[in-house]
Each structure stands twice: as structure tokens, then as C-alpha cells.
Amino acid sequence: MSSPSPKKQDKEEQKQKAVKAGEGKKGQGKEDGGSGGGGEHGAAVKKPTTKAERRALQEAQRKAKEERLAAQGKGTAKQTTSTSGGGAKRSQASKGGEGGAKLEGKPLEVPRPTRQRNSSSSTSVTTDDHRPNKSSKSSKKATEQQVETGRRVKQLQLFSHLQQYSKAPSSPTLPWHSVSTYTSIHPAIIKLGLHYSHGVICGSNSRCVAMLAAFKKVINDYTTPVQKELRRDLDAHIRPFINFLTHCRPLSVSMGNAIKYLKREISKIGPDQSESEAKRLLCATIDEYLELYIVKAGTEISKLCQNIIKDNDVILVYAFSSVVQRVLLDAHCSGRQFRVIVVDSRPKMEGRHMLRTLVQKGVKCSYVLINAVSYIMKEVSKVIVGAHSLLANGYVMSRIGTSQVALVARSFNVPVLVCCETYKFSDRVQTDSIVNNELGDPNDLVQINRRQGNFLTGWKDIPCLGLLNLVYDVTSPDLVSMVITELGVIPCTSVPVVLRISRDETAAV
Amino acid sequence: MGEQGVAVRASVSSESQLTEQETDELVKEFEAALDQNLSEAVAAIQTLLKFIKTCKVGTISGLRAELKVATETLIKARTSTVSVSSGCELFLRFITMTSLEGQNDFEDLRRKLIKRGDMYLQKVADSRQKIAHIANPFIRDGTTILTHSRSRVVYCLLKEAMSSGKRIKVFVTASTIDNSGEEMHQLLQDAKVPSKVILDSAVGFIMEEVDLVIVGAEGVAESGGIINKIGTYQMAVMAKALNKPFYVVAESFKFVRMYPLNQGDLPNDEKYTSVNSSEDSHPYIDYSPPQYITLLFSDIGVLTPSAVSDELIKLYL
């Protein structure tokens, strides 16, 4: 095809890679294993170049590659801007079809991208010296997405270590240009994945519940292949599904914990159990998990909050949380007199959903955007928010904007209450919102619904402009007064205690 | 664990009221125990133990119900109820942790409970001494200490520091609501500890001269904050503002399952005394949040405020 020339380029890159092998680029080494040895040999023969010289050479090569990419990308960019404009709609069926057809029509793209993938990722890897493996894999993913969908999603340097946003699901392991891969994924999972990536199902609890429901369908439709055991094969069977879901939208902590639980339950199935019995058992445990850790936990949290919400309280809530909604509605039904201030923010505007449901039940509500929160805070007696997850060092990971609300609340001496079920607790530790986050669609920030029109429509063509749409942020524990879980009310710093207890319980079982 | 508590409460509400005579006996017993200079919680526990010995019920659940009612009676009898309620609850949990299944003979079970109760009483009786021993190294030679009102644990600690040969100077706030500061001053003088009474309003003035602040507590909340005599909160805030360490000494049975968010969250019946009816608009206790507290000394060890929740979970689960 055009194998000789890319191969030569490869060799050059191999040399640079081999020279920089000390920085631990195992990722590239693995896939280009064959030529790796040759490259090293070549490097030993050549005279040793200084770091500056090597870097200059790489820069020149990178520029050349980018120019080539731009020439190719511009051709397809026009095609895709039209689809991205209508992308904000929720027609997932047409989206899926469109995406499939678009990718189907470019089977020849695949050999080219694999070559370019190496070069772009090798350059991005040299700039990120401190995170060898993970960054190389995810930035590979990132540039993969760029090339495969043919769309130039501008990457921000600070967030290049995160999975970049792409509307259609993409993956380095599954070649998306062929329809046959869609058939290997269970239709319930495909539907789920598209629901996630288009924002139809949003929110930690709903995503987890939908995922478990889909997995129940998968388990019921699963048949053990001959010569294989259910408890070993089912795990391998659902792994590509989980990968698919991750590429549609990164897994939430709640989903991650649910999957861990499911895998544990699968491994506990006895070898002599019949397939139908095992399947029934698994579905029963999934139902039990949902009932215990989500439904009952919500009820318990609501009960605990009834004593905390007093008459004539002014409660501030941020965006949407299913638990907080439950708490407020239950308190209202039990006759408490209070009023609610709903704070909302772009682009998701989830607060509207919260407002709608509260007003329907007759709760007295006010509605502000987040830029007015310091104005409204002096009237507030309590702030109640939900959480995406609670980290092991006591930090609360929640919808972006929560830490801002908590900070303003602290300065006005207003207590901040976080409602979070224990299944969302995570072992992870982080102190800022950059090291681990989710990137949303930057195009969502373009829509501002003003008479003068959307100023940012042409943001992709402006070279010095980038749009950033972060989904989560972390709130430090000194801004949070208490965390309400189904086990009781605990201070933010006691999350490791709960984790320890639940770990002991699972170990005992 | 939560559901169990609910079930017991439900059974209590439907039945078993103590007779007038039993109630009076209980209260008399309690006040007699208080005169022995025991802390209120220990006195309550002693009374409950005697109650179990003389109780005329035949079933476990009956006994539990009676104990619940007895606890409530004791709480109503005395004004400072935080430590009494927490002490009683912990006592009940401790003794009922014995395996109660397969015990057909109720008397045998009762004897078992009484034995465990005595064990618990013994454990808490020397908790004050234990705390003094643990906290002693934190008081160095030549320190000036500020304390608030009268606390038996603080007194025990200061005596211990004095007897281990350290030279200390103590300032006590007068705590004019009932002048218990004066009583503390008297006790310290008797123990030959150099001390001086200051006005409650002079806490800010004196803070720059002291090296550390030590107070007792009526209750330690789940958040790590403490509930103590009115005036403790402002002392804590002043100490924080001037970067002086603020230490709390409290026995482990004072750890209570309360989580106040602010002063308004304190239960009203514990805030206002029923004794001073003419001045009943003055609160008797206040809440000091955990961010002002440096360390807590208790018989289970030296804790930071965030570790209190950890210990509470261990005690109650």
C-alpha cells in the first residue's frame, strides 16, 4: 500500500523512542515490538545527539505531521460540523445510525491513522514526562478519536491526560468502521451507551440503575459456551461491554462499585450450579443490591434529614440530585414549612428539572443562576447537595459548581450538608479537580440564546481559543459540615471508617 | 442497629410506666450517688445497676423497657442531661452485648448483666485518673493554664500535674451563672495549686498570658465538637484567634450521638435550666465546633476531633 515510506518514518520514530526509553514508554514499545529492536540497534550505531537536538528534530517532524493531518482533516471537517451542530438534540437512534454510516464509509482511513497515531502520541508523550503509561494510553485514545471520527477536537494542554470528549463512541480496540462489531455488543448495552453519551440518562443513581438493568438482560440472554464455566466466562463476556460503556461516557464511581460487586458475585457462583439457577441467582443479587444500596439507602437518608430540616428553614440546593429531591419532597409531605432556593448553572441546566418537580408538589421555590449565589446566600439557613462520590480523604466529588456554592456558604457561615449513599464511596484520593475529571462537550458552551446570536460558533477556527466543559469538581472537607449516609450522620473525615467497615463486611462474607 | 433501637423505643411507648414510688426511689438513689462526688453519668449508671438488681420483671424485653423508662426519669431529674443520657445509653449497650440467645433462665441472665455492669462501672470509675495520667505530659513545667468553670476531670488533671512536680499557674473563669468557677478556685487552693478567678468577660484580656486552655465537657458530639457550660465557645474562638492550644478532657461515656450544626441545634430542654425559673431565658450550655479544638483527652486515648466519629462508630456498632 504505502508501507515502505511509513515504515521508514517508523524507524526514525523508533530511534527517538528508544533513545527516550528511559522515560518508560512501554505502551508504544509493545505494539511496535518488531521494529523496536531495530531502532535500538540503529541508535547504538549513530553518534549520541544532545537532548536539545533531538527535541528540535521531533518538533520539525511533528509540524510536518500536523500539516499533513490538517490537509486531510479539513476535508472531513466540513462534513462533520453540520452533524455536530445538530448534535445537541436527543435523537439517539438517528445519531447512532449516522455515526455508523459515517464511520462505515471510511474503511481506508484505518491504515493511515495507525501510523499517525504513533507520531502524534510520541510527541505528546515527550511533553508529559511524569505520567508515562496512563498518559500515553489516553492521549493515544485522544488522538485516535481525533483521527477516526475525522473531527478536530481541540485539546487543552492542562486536560490532555483525560479522556477527550467525542459524541460517537470510539475505541482503539474495537474497529468501529465495521458494523459487525456492533453485533458483538448486546443491544441493551448499545442502547445504554448511546443514552449515556447523549445525556438522556444523567445522574449517578440513574446511570447505575440503568446499567444494572441492562446487565440483567445481558445475563438472561447469555448462554455458556461449550467447555466453559459460567463464572469464568461471564466475566470475560461482559468486559467488552464495560469498555464500550466507558468509551461512550467514562464510568461513574457508582457504576464502578456496582460492577465490582457484580464481578464478586459472579465469582462466588459454585461450579456445580446449573446455568439457569446461576442466572436466576445473579439477577436476584442485582435486585438485592439495587434495593439495599440505592432504594433503601435513599429512604434512610431521607428519614435522617427529616430531623435536620426545621420549620422556617431556607434551603439552598444546587443542580439536580435524586437524593436531595427525595429528601425535600418527603419533608414537604410530612408537613414541614420551609422554602427552597434552586441554584442552576450552564450548560446542563439540571436545576430546572429539580425546580419543576418541587413546584409540582407545592414546595415554595426560588430560582437563581450560580452567579447570583453570593447575593442570595445571606437568606439561606442550610445548603443541601448530593454527591457523585466521596473520596477517601474526605473530599466530595460532585457536579461542577458545588465547591463554589460550598465556598460561598462557608463565608456566610451557612452549614453545608452532603447526602450520599455509601455505595458511592471511593478509595481514591485527590485534592484538586484537574487530576481526575470528565470532559463534556465543548460545543454545549456555544449556545447562549441571545438576540445577538452565539458569539462562539466559530471557536474551532480561532487558534488561540479553546472551550472547556468540565463535569465534576471536588469540595474540600473543611467546607462541608456533615455527610448524611444511610449508616448515619458522619463528618466528612470519617469516610475511611465507613470504607473500612464495608471492606470488613465483604471480607467476612 | 438503627432498626433495633427503633423497635425498643416502640415497645416502651406502648407499655411500662414506673410507679410513683419506684420513680422516687430511683431519683433518691441518684442524688445520693451524686453526693459521693461522682460524675453525673457514673451516678446514673450506678443507679441503673441497682435498679436492675431490684427490678421485678421476668423477661428481657421487659427489663429493657423498664431500663429505658428509668433512664428517662433520671434525665428529667437533673438539669445537665447530656452526659447522663450518653452514659446510660452506652451502659445499656455494653451490658446487652452479651449473647442473649439460648438464655432461658432469666435470673441467670440478670446475674450476668449485673456482673458486666459492675465491670463497666469499675472501668468508668477510674477513667478520670486514667485521663489525668494520659494528659499529664502535655502540661509542661511553668505553664499558665486557663480553665472554665468547675470540672472534676480538669481538677483531677491539675492535681496530678502538681503532684508530679510541675509548677503551674491557673486562671479560672468565675462562670457567674452559678458561680461554679469560685468553687473550682476553692478546690484548687485546697490542693495548693496557685489559681486566680477572672471575670467571664476577661477571657480575651487574659488569653495572651496563658499557654494553653483546658476544659472539661458535658458531652462530646459526633462531629468532634463539645457541649459544655456556657462560655466555652467564646473561649475556644479566642484561643483559636490567638493560636493557643485548646484541650478538652472528657471520659469516653460522654461521647453522644448528637450532631449539632450550630447553637440552635442544641435540645432546648438541656439548654435552659429548670432551676432558675426567674432567669430561664439564659442558656446553660453551648456548643463549640470541632475546628476550634486541638486535642481531646479521654480514657480511650488522645484523639483529634475527627477521630471522635471513628470512636463513636466503634462504641455504638
Chain B neighbors of A482, CB-CB under 8 A = 223, 259, 261
Q: Looking at residues B139-165, what average pLDDT do you find? A: 94
According to the model, what pLDDT value does residue B104 have? 65
Whether A378 shows a pLDDT value over 90: the answer reads yes
At residue A33 the predicted structure's pLDDT band, cuts being 50, 70 and 90, is: very low
- By C-alpha distance, the chain B residue nearest A481 is B261
pLDDT for res A118: 42
The boundaries of every CATH 3.40.50.10470 domain in chain B are 139-315
Contact A121, A480 (CB under 8 A): no
The answer on pLDDT for B111 being more than 50 is: yes
Side-chain half-sphere of A9: how many Cα atoms within 13 Å? 18
Contact B296, A497 (CB under 8 A): no
Q: Is A304 on the interface with B (CB under 8 A)?
A: no
Q: Measured between alpha carbons, how far is residue B295 from residues A493, B250, B308 in Å?
A: 16, 11, 10
Q: Which of B45, B40, B39 lies closest to B129 in space, CA to CA?
A: B39
CATH code of the domain containing A491: 3.40.50.10470
Reported confidence tier of residue B164, pLDDT bands at 50, 70, 90: very high
Residue B25: is its pLDDT beyond 60? yes
Reply yes or no: is the peptide bond before residue A347 cis, omega within 30 of 0: yes
Q: What integer pLDDT is reported at residue A229 of this predicted model?
A: 82
Are A491 and B290 inside 8 Å of each other by CB?
yes
pLDDT band at A156 (very low <50, low <70, confident <90, very high): confident
* B310: nearest CB among A300, A415, A497: A497
Residue with cell string 445510525: A97
- Asked: is B3-126 a CATH 3.90.1720.10 domain? The reply is no
Residue B306 has its nearest CB partner, among A300, A308, A491, at A491
Tell whether A91 is within 8 A of chain B (Cβ). Answer: no
Q: Residue B309: which of A382, A494, A501 has the nearest Cβ?
A: A494
Cell matching residue A32:
511496535
What would the pLDDT profile of A303-355 be if each residue is shown by its tens digit?
999 999 999 999 999 999 999 999 999 999 999 999 999 999 989 999 999 99
**Contact status of A494 with chain B (Cβ, < 8 Å):** yes
- State mean pLDDT over A7-25: 48
| Closest of B252, B237, B7 to residue B124, by C-alpha | B252
Q: Is residue A362 part of a domain?
A: yes
Q: Taking the model in full, what pTM does it have?
A: 0.72
**Closest of A373, A356, A378 to residue A365, by C-alpha:** A356
CA distance B156 to chain A (A): 31
> Are residues A272 and A336 located together in one domain of the fold?
no
Considering only the beta carbons, identify the residue of A300, A415, A490 that sits closest to B262: A415
Whether B280 has a pLDDT exceeding 80, the answer reads no
Tell me what pLDDT residue B47 has. Answer: 84
Give the sheet arrangement for strand A389-390, strand by strand. A389-390, A396-399, A472-475
Query: What superfamily would CATH give domain B139-315?
Result: Translation initiation factor eif-2b; domain 2 (3.40.50.10470)
CA distance B257 to chain A (A): 9
Residues of chain B with CATH 1.20.120.1070: 3-126
Average pLDDT over residues A155-161: 85
The answer, yes or no, to whether residue A111 has pLDDT greater than 50, is: no
A172-176, A360-364, A378-382, A456-460: least confident range: A172-176
Share of chain A above pLDDT 70, in %: 71
Sign of CA dihedral A500, A504, A507, B3: negative
Q: Does A392 touch chain B (CB under 8 A)?
A: no
Residue B65: pLDDT band (50, 70, 90) is confident
pLDDT over 50 (residue A459) = yes
Asked if A321 and A386 touch (Cβ cutoff 8 Å), the reply is yes
- Chain A: closest CA distance from residue B2 (Å): 8
pLDDT of residue B181: 93
Distance CA A88, CA B296 (A): 55
**Residue B1's pLDDT band (cuts 50, 70, 90):** very low
- Distance of residue A500 Cα from the nearest chain B Cα, in angstroms: 11
Q: Are residues A287 and A373 both part of a single domain?
A: no
Which carries the bigger pLDDT value, residue A19 or residue B171? B171
* Final residue of a structural domain among A297, A320, A354: A297
Whether residues A273 and A233 share a domain: the answer is: yes
Shared-domain flag, residues A215 and A293: yes
Same domain, yes or no: A288 and A352? no
Residues 6+ apart with CB under 8 A from B267: none
Q: Does residue A416 lie within any of the structural domains?
A: yes
Give the cell for residue B296. 481531646
Q: Give yes or no: residues A318 and A404 share one domain.
A: yes
Cross-chain residue pair B222–A491, CB shorter than 8 Å:
yes
Average pLDDT over residues B127-132: 92
Domain boundary among A267, A297, A327: A297
Cβ atoms within 10 Å, residue A98: 16
Instruction: Identify the residue with better confidence: A471 or A98.
Output: A471
Q: Which of A488, A489, A493 sits opposite B306 (nearest CB)?
A: A493
What ipTM goes with this model? 0.75
Cell, residue B292: 476550634
Distances in Å between the Cα of B35 and the Cα atoms of B28, B31, B38, B187 are: 11, 6, 7, 16
Q: What is the CATH number of the domain that holds A232?
A: 1.20.120
| CA distance, residue B189 to nearest chain A CA (Å) | 41
> Chains A, B: CB contacts under 8 A, how many?
35
pLDDT at B240 (0 to 100): 95
- pLDDT tens string A413-444: 999 999 999 999 998 999 999 999 999 888 88
- Indicate if the pLDDT at residue A10 is higher than 70: no
Q: How many Cβ atoms sit within 10 Å of the Cβ of residue A276?
A: 9
Fill in the amino acid letter for B188.
L
The reply to whether residue A300 touches residue B2, judged by beta carbons under 8 angstroms, is yes
Residue A302 has pLDDT above 50, yes or no: yes
A501 in contact with B, Cβ within 8 Å: yes
* A254 lies in the same domain as A393: no
The edge-to-edge listing of strands for the beta sheet with B285-288 is: B219-220, B226-229, B285-288
| Minimum CA–CA partner of B311 in chain A | A497
Amino acid at A482: M
Q: The domain containing residue A482 runs over which residues?
A: 310-508
A292 touches chain B (CB under 8 A): no
B259:A489 CB<8 A? yes
Shortest alpha-carbon distance between residue B306 and chain A (Å): 6
Instruction: Decide if pLDDT at A228 tops 90.
Output: no
- Is the pLDDT at B187 greater than 90? The verdict is yes
Neighbours of A205 (CB within 10 A): 22
Of chain B, the end-to-end C-alpha distance in Å amounts to 7
Q: Which residue has the higher pLDDT, A176 or B231?
A: B231
Contact criterion met (CB < 8 Å) for B291 and A478: yes
User: Are residue A248 and residue A381 in the same domain, yes or no?
Assistant: no
Q: How far is A129 from chain B (nearest CA, A)?
A: 38
Q: What is the pLDDT of residue A3?
A: 45
* CA atoms of A295 and A332, how far apart (whole Å): 19
Q: How far apart are CA A153 and CA A441, in angstroms?
A: 10
Tell me whether residue A441 is in a domain: yes
Q: Contacts of residue B287 in chain A, CB cutoff 8 Å? A: none
| Whether residue A475 has pLDDT greater than 50 | yes
Task: Kindly state whether residues A281 and A321 are assigned to the same domain.
Answer: no
d(CA A72, CA A92): 28
pLDDT band with cut points at 50, 70 and 90 for residue B100: low
In a domain, A203, yes or no: yes
| Residue A80: band (very low, low, confident or very high) from pLDDT cuts 50, 70, 90 | very low
> What is the pLDDT averaged over residues A350-366?
95
Residue B39 or residue B173, greater confidence: B173
Residue A60 lies in a domain: no
Judge whether A345 lies within some domain. yes
| Band (A358; pLDDT cuts 50, 70, 90) | very high
What Å distances lie between residue B73 and A354, B67, B81, B109, B133, CA to CA?
46, 10, 11, 24, 34
Measured between CA atoms, the residue of chain A closest to residue B222 is A490
Asked whether residue A74 is domain-assigned, the answer is: no
Residue A161 included in any domain? no
The answer to whether A502 contacts chain B (CB < 8 Å) is: no
Domains held by chain A: number: 2
Q: State the pLDDT confidence band at A88, using cuts at 50, 70 and 90.
A: very low
CA end-to-end distance (rounded Å), chain A: 58
Average pLDDT over residues A481-505: 86
Q: Which of A481, A490, A493 sits opposite B261 (nearest CB)?
A: A481
Q: pLDDT above 90 covers what percent of chain A?
A: 42
| pLDDT level of residue B289 (50, 70, 90 thresholds) | very high
- Do A341 and A399 have their domain in common? yes
Same domain, yes or no: A372 and A471: yes
Interval B205-260: pLDDT, tens: 999 999 999 999 999 998 999 999 999 999 999 999 999 999 999 998 888 888 99
The verdict on a CB contact (< 8 Å) between A493 and B222 is no
- Would you state the pLDDT for residue A353? 95
More confident residue, A353 or B118: A353
Q: Kindly list the residues from chain B whose CB atom is less than 8 angstroms away from the CB atom of residue A494.
A: 306, 309-310, 313
Q: Mind telling me how many Å the CA of B224 is from chain A's nearest CA?
A: 8
